[in-house]
Amino acid sequence: MKDKFVIKPKTVRSVTMTIRIDSEISEKLDDLASKSNRSRNELINMSLRYAFENLEFTQEDEHL
């Protein structure tokens, strides 16, 4: 009996976004990418993940 060739639905792992960033941040990102041998995309994902994991959100008091 031959093994079956099983195909499962693809799960979405990422999305494509277009963003604008300050030129100063872009330069720092390019410099870090070069030094670390990582892609800008990888560094941006790492940075965003860190920011969300360490984020504290507070709403302004409407009565002040």
Convert the pLDDT of each residue in 8-32 to its tens digit: 888 878 899 999 999 999 999 999 9
How many domains does the chain fold into?
1
Higher pLDDT pick, 6 / 20: 20
User: Residue 58 domain-assigned?
Assistant: no
Average pLDDT of the residues of the chain: 91
**What tokens were used for 11?**
């799960």
Task: Tell me the C-alpha distance between 60 and 18, whole Å.
Answer: 29
Higher pLDDT pick, 35 / 12: 35
User: Residue 17 domain-assigned?
Assistant: no
Query: Which range marks the domain in which residue 45 is found?
Result: 25-53
**What tokens were used for 22?**
């300050």
User: Residue 12 domain-assigned?
Assistant: no
pTM: 0.70
**What tokens were used for 36?**
């670390």
User: Residue 18 domain-assigned?
Assistant: no
Q: Three-class SS of residue 25?
A: helix
User: Residue 6 domain-assigned?
Assistant: no
CA distances from 63 to 56, 57, 58, 59, 60 (A): 21, 18, 14, 12, 9
Q: At residue 1, does pLDDT exceed 70?
A: no
Q: What is the mean pLDDT of residues 45-59?
A: 95
